[in-house]
A and B are shown apart, each in its own frame.
Chain A
Amino acid sequence: MTTTAAATTETTTEPKTMTGAQLVLEALVDQGVDTIFGYPGGAVLPIYDALYQQNRIKHVLVRHEQAAVHAAEGYARSTGKVGVVLVTSGPGATNAVTGLVDALMDSIPLVCLTGQVPTHLIGNDAFQEADTTGITRPATKHNYLVKDVAQLARTVHEAFFVARNGRPGPVVVDLPKDVQFASGPYYGPELCRPKSYKPQTEPDHAAIERAIDLMAKAERPIFYTGGGVINSGPRAAEMLTELVRATGFPCTNTLMGLGAFPASDKQFLGMLGMHGTYEANLAMHGCDVMICIGARFDDRVTGKTSEFSPNSKKIHVDIDASSINKNIRVDLPIVGDAGRAIELLLAAWKKRAPKPKLDAWWKQIEFWRARDCLRYATTKDVIKPQYALERLRAAIQGRDDVIISTEVGQHQMWAAQFLPFDKPNRWLTSGGLGTMGYGLPAAIGAQIGNPGALCIDVAGEASILMNIQEMSTAVQYRLPVKVFILNNQWMGMVRQWQQLLHGERYSQSYSEALPDFVKLADAFGGVGMRVDAADDLDRVIAEMIAADKPCIVDVTVDPNENCFPMIPGGHAHNEMLLGPEDHKSQDPSAREEGMVLV
């Protein structure tokens, strides 16, 4: 850190002096933080001591530092606030790394405070020393090592500024133990601004006008929107809905963008991408004007880039200039805040009031939609995972207080396809990193941030075991989170790929030696239930929703069901597999190309 604290203050009154540990808490309070997720250890004991002696900040004790970060992510994404994590040095910090990368990939604002060995021991391989700033440099949006207590308050405030402004992300502040003990001056947030970080939020107005030119003349337009709209705040989603309805254009959302536009609206085509709907992907492929807002042309969305939406003019709004022209060359880049851009687009559209003729396009889309791509074969003897989710959907329909998180795998994609997301901040999933073990701690974080909400983790039997210890956290804080396991006894998504791409050689993907989830829930002090027959689903779901304790529902589902539609890796949007009987894409070279992709 380079600026001296004195240089950043213009007040004449003497700043208050306190210990580094107190400075941290003071700064958190001034940043509006009332809840943090953490786990203690030697290098953060001074901060835990300070926490003990106050009651402005609630500390949620998790059972693993990775879960602290995911809980903070769930909290952040469901409340719109910055999530805060506190962990010790060495193993505390390294355990947090997966969560940090997860937050980085999905643009979740976090501040993670890590303890560090005292400054004079740094570099000595001291007990529980890890080069935390070194390790987390590519795992964070930014990180700091605070070596001087005079810089501490400023650094914490700056960390919050960086985490929440521009494209949000995780920020680590590494705090040597001696700095936590030392006394230093407290400066408020208003005096602490980063010198060099000034993200552009206001879009270029001329570019907005050019976007309207393209949109007004479009014959086959589509909105393709992502998590950036949700990060921009609930108002952005409302304005997006208004804009989509004003234009009459179809709209598709990415996995991260679900809820930004109401899924129940008839202009909604569903999610796009690898497991997106037929209509969304074909509309993307065939459109002539694409308006991408707050999404990043990720490979799960584009499929084979050389054949991605070959005949469209592409408009890309993103707050992160580096997301533009990274994977796909676009025609009209607009750097700025998604919400602000939508607001300007809406105003400009209304002013000009064009009336594009879209009847032929909608007719085409309805034709695709009529394929009913999410249809699945029902049988009497086994519960189809999709059916289980349809029953869950029926049970939560019309409620505004339902927050769904997921683990990673087939169940995640089915949840995205089958559950209704009409509002933002109610869908928590690990999109960019695809982290198994995300869902339960994320649901816990969401429940802490939204007491009274119905928080459900749609899980796979393999993923849930990756952070199952968090049942203890849920029990300790009396959080009635629900874990809804679609138990197919396989790492289903792995099995699906092995089936389609690796000659049905099911290497290590069977979920052997599973625990009895009902007893497991019981052992943790929660409630466990099992469903083996489709007829029982509604009853058990109702009991689950009514339960006032953490609850695991273990639903035995068809072990062989695969997730469709699917664009196999290396294929284009118009080469979708629609169901098990669909084998049209057997081109061996494309298969090889697809196999090397993930």
Chain B
Amino acid sequence: MTFLSNEPIERHTFAVLVDNEPGVLARVIGLFSGRGYNIESLTVAEVDPVKQLSRITLVSSGTRMVIDQIKVQLDRLVPIHTVLDLTDGGAFVERELALVKVLGTGEHRVEALRIAGVFRARVIDSTTESFVFELTGSSQKLDAFIDIMRPLGLAELSRTGAAAISRGTATI
């Protein structure tokens, strides 16, 4: 037994399969707020319309003890089918999508477009004074892109939070 408050903080990505029913997201969020766990990002959408299952991808951080608690606490919610700690489970891929609105004219505008090309962001809307870029990648890549866009006229941002899936043949 050790006092655990000085343990390092770990970042973990969870994949959670749930019944797509009213209130299920409130249960998950209530668990996190009620027990003081962190939510870095959370995404949810239906993935199996026949069985009516949704998949939540949740990124959280905490000490090892907290991370382990998050898994078992999620697991005991009644409408939750499976909880997978992808970070513990081996290799996985994680992607996030961002829509980035940049306003500007002249040099800034040209530079924004050039950087977008470097990052392989797509222009999905433009006016003479604005672009909306769509960018997919790791959260870090998105962060980097956004940082560069900030002085170039970044005006508005919408991010999805991470979606993640394990590599290889294994399934949830």
Contacts and interface: CB of A to CB of B under 8 A. Distances in A.
Contacts of A138: 30, 34
B65 A196 contact: no
Interface of B: 1-4, 18-23, 26-27, 30, 34, 52, 65, 68-69, 72-73, 75-81
A133 B19 CA distance: 17
B65 A2 contact: no
A197 interface: yes
A166 interface: yes
B1 A308 contact: yes
Q: Chain A interface secondary structure, helix, strand, loop or mixed?
A: loop
Contacts of A2: 19-21, 52
A321 to B, nearest CB: 4
Nearest to A310: B1
A132 to B, nearest CB: 11
B78 A196 contact: yes
Interface in A98-152: 133-134, 137-138, 141-142, 145
Nearest to B76: A322
Contact of B21 (A1, A199, A308, A321): A1
Contacts of A199: 76
7 contacts: A2-B19, A2-B21, A141-B78, A305-B1, A314-B1, A325-B69, A326-B65
Contacts of A196: 18-19, 78-81
B52 A322 contact: no
Contact of B27 (A137, A305, A308): A137
A109 to B, nearest CB: 14
Contacts of A309: 1
Contacts of A326: 65, 69
Given A134-B26, A137-B26, A137-B30, A321 B1 contact: no
B72 A321 contact: yes
Given A166-B76, A321-B72, A329-B2, A195 B19 contact: yes
Interface residues of A, number: 32
A65 interface: no
Given A1-B21, A2-B20, A138-B34, A320 B76 contact: yes
A133 B23 contact: yes
A499 interface: no
Contacts of A321: 72, 75-76
Contacts of A142: 77-78
A51 interface: no
A320 B72 CA distance: 9
A145 B79 CA distance: 14
Nearest to A2: B52
Given A321-B72, A329-B65, 12 more contacts: A142-B78, A162-B78, A194-B78, A196-B78, A196-B81, A197-B78, A306-B1, A322-B76, A325-B65, A325-B68, A328-B1, A329-B1
Contacts of A324: 72
Contacts of B77: 142
Contacts of A137: 23, 26-27, 30
B70 to A, nearest CB: 9
Interface in A318-355: 320-322, 324-326, 328-329
Contacts of A3: 52
Contacts of A195: 19, 81
Contacts of B52: 2-3
Given A137-B30, A138-B30, A195-B19, A322 B73 contact: yes
A322 B83 CA distance: 13
Contacts of B2: 306, 329
B121 to A, nearest CB: 38
A320 B79 CA distance: 16
A3 B53 CA distance: 11
A322 B78 contact: no
Nearest to A335: B72
